[in-house]
């Protein structure tokens, strides 16, 4: 029975953003049992609309039985075989990824999650310079406020809060500004000015540290953490040019943004920029199974060809044939249902509705996003952009109020990132926005705003 299941969760489970004491006080964790499209059903029979799409990762939506069929078919043929040899689904998948990725990004190293894919990208970048005799390049630039994963190396990229528990940090981490106009680190009167000054800061950082010490810059084309940050058009072409000028490899982290999330197959397409290395995860299988990949340009990968020259790394589950079969079926569903186009169209509609919310609610400081990667930032004072005092617990209030309204939407630090399944409809969006409207209204009146 579900009571004993819930008790077992409290006794044994240790998971993201939760602790068993708080969970027990709240009556135990929500236990999800089934899903369909943008909705999931919990063990009590309550139906939720998932505005997060898992971790902005269930691109094709829940309940795609075609994916389950593809998985079973491959499972029955061959459940697993490691790399070194290979399997048909993996070959078909890397061929397909070569087709989808921009020209030149052709060489695919499979992994199991976004963190692993980014670790791999950084290792490739560092080793690439060494293979070319450029031995001093090991530093990696990331942008403050970004997130690139949870494992030993990449957790230090992006300079997120709360890392002090895990010191010492990985050596060679350099941090550049996030080109977010609403909170720009530079005095800037337009998004373009913020973008240009943030890009120029990358060059200053490279020069300060000397170009021959810098291996790579890693960044999400459009940043999902912190309520989404969309750089204006100038930013990525400028950063691309700066990386080229100083021999620094550009790694695009498309873990969230890939597979239609921003209304393009990959988000760098918005900027017309091709990175040297691109990482993908999440949407590649719509989270049906864990799979990720690091895709390198041919000129990067070719530094590792030939006897005694290979890139040294093994990941037991990387390129698992069942996950590859799932990815292929998932990509087919995304293409056949034009989910990339739907993401662009529904994203534009969603953003319009969020703009209306901002018009009605003084606490909504900023709304932003592209496609179905959308964000919202709450402020105590719209003029000064002053945040709410922590003691007011605005994030928790709103998360709870959304939960009461049957919407999964977790606010964090008074910001929220919205990334629903790409099959979402206008009616679903209206339902989410009207829940936000009343939840924010209620919060504002509780705090007498």
Instruction: State the residues that interact with ligand PLP by CB under 6 A.
Output: 55, 113-115, 118, 147-150, 220, 224, 253, 255-256, 281
Sheet arrangement for strand 249-253: 105-111, 292-297, 277-280, 249-253, 214-219, 139-143, 173-176
**Residue closer to ligand PLP, measured from CB, 221 or 347:** 221
* Shortest Å distance, C-beta 220 to ligand PLP: 5
69 vs 85: CA distance, rounded Å? 25
* Shortest Å distance, C-beta 290 to ligand PLP: 7
**Residue closer to ligand PLP, measured from CB, 13 or 386:** 13
**Residue closer to ligand PLP, measured from CB, 287 or 342:** 287
* Shortest Å distance, C-beta 292 to ligand PLP: 6
* Shortest Å distance, C-beta 147 to ligand PLP: 5
* Shortest Å distance, C-beta 323 to ligand PLP: 13
**Residue closer to ligand PLP, measured from CB, 281 or 436:** 281
**Residue closer to ligand PLP, measured from CB, 256 or 432:** 256
Q: Say which residues have a Cβ less than 8 Å from residue 142's Cβ, sequence separation at least 6.
A: 148, 157, 158, 159, 173, 174, 175, 176, 217, 218, 219
53 vs 283: CA distance, rounded Å? 10
**Residue closer to ligand PLP, measured from CB, 159 or 255:** 255
* Shortest Å distance, C-beta 161 to ligand PLP: 16
215 vs 135: CA distance, rounded Å? 10
* Shortest Å distance, C-beta 257 to ligand PLP: 8
**Residue closer to ligand PLP, measured from CB, 147 or 411:** 147
* φ/ψ of residue 247, rounded to 5: 70, 25
Q: Looking up tokens 């393009």, which residue turns up?
A: 264
* Shortest Å distance, C-beta 29 to ligand PLP: 19
188 vs 73: CA distance, rounded Å? 56
312 vs 47: CA distance, rounded Å? 47
* Shortest Å distance, C-beta 266 to ligand PLP: 13
Q: Looking up tokens 């077992």, which residue turns up?
A: 8
**Residue closer to ligand PLP, measured from CB, 64 or 112:** 112
365 vs 376: CA distance, rounded Å? 8
**Residue closer to ligand PLP, measured from CB, 28 or 260:** 260
**Residue closer to ligand PLP, measured from CB, 253 or 431:** 253
Chain residue at closest Cβ approach to ligand PLP = 114
**Residue closer to ligand PLP, measured from CB, 123 or 345:** 123
292 vs 284: CA distance, rounded Å? 7
184 vs 217: CA distance, rounded Å? 19
171 vs 167: CA distance, rounded Å? 11
* Shortest Å distance, C-beta 368 to ligand PLP: 16
* Shortest Å distance, C-beta 56 to ligand PLP: 7
């Amino acid at each position: 029975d579900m009571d004993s299941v819930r008790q077992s969760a409290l006794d044994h489970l240790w998971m993201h953003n939760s602790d068993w004491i708080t969970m027990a006080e709240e009556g135990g964790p929500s236990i999800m049992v089934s899903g369909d499209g943008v909705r999931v059903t919990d063990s009590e029979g309550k139906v939720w609309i998932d505005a997060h799409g898992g971790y902005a990762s269930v691109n094709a939506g829940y309940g795609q039985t075609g994916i389950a069929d593809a998985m079973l078919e491959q499972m029955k043929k061959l459940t697993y075989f490691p790399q070194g040899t290979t399997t048909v689904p993996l070959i078909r998948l890397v061929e397909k990824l070569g087709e989808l990725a921009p020209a030149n990004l052709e060489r695919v190293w499979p992994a199991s999650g976004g963190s692993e894919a980014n670790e791999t990208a950084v290792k490739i970048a560092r080793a690439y310079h060494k293979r070319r005799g450029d031995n001093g390049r090991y530093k990696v630039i990331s942008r403050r406020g970004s997130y690139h994963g949870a494992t030993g190396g990449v957790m230090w990229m992006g300079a997120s809060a709360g890392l002090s528990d895990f010191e010492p940090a990985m050596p060679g981490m350099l941090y550049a500004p996030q080109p977010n106009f609403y909170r720009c680190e530079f005095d800037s009167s337009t998004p373009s000015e913020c973008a240009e000054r943030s890009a120029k800061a990358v060059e200053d950082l490279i020069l300060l540290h000397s170009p021959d010490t810098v291996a790579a810059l890693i960044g999400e084309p459009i940043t999902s953490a912190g309520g989404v940050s969309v750089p204006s058009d100038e930013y990525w072409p400028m950063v691309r040019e700066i990386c080229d000028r100083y021999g620094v490899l550009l790694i695009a982290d498309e873990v969230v943004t890939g597979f239609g999330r921003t209304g393009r197959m990959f988000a760098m397409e918005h900027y017309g920029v091709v990175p040297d290395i691109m990482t993908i995860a999440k949407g590649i299988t719509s989270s049906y199974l864990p799979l990720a990949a690091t895709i390198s340009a041919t000129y990067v990968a070719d530094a590792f060809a030939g006897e005694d020259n290979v890139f040294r790394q093994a990941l037991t589950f990387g390129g698992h044939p069942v996950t590859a079969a799932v990815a292929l079926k998932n990509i087919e569903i995304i293409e056949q249902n034009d989910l990339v186009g739907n993401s662009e169209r529904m994203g534009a509609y969603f953003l319009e509705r969020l703009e209306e919310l901002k018009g009605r609610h003084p606490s909504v400081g900023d709304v932003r996003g592209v496609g179905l990667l959308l964000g919202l930032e709450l402020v105590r004072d719209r003029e000064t952009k002053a945040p709410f005092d922590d003691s007011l617990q605005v994030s928790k209030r709103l998360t709870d109020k959304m939960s009461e309204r049957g919407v999964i939407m977790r606010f964090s630090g008074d910001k929220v990132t919205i990334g629903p399944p790409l099959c979402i409809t206008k009616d679903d969006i209206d339902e989410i926005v009207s829940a936000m409207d009343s939840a924010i209204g209620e919060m504002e009146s509780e705090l007498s705003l």
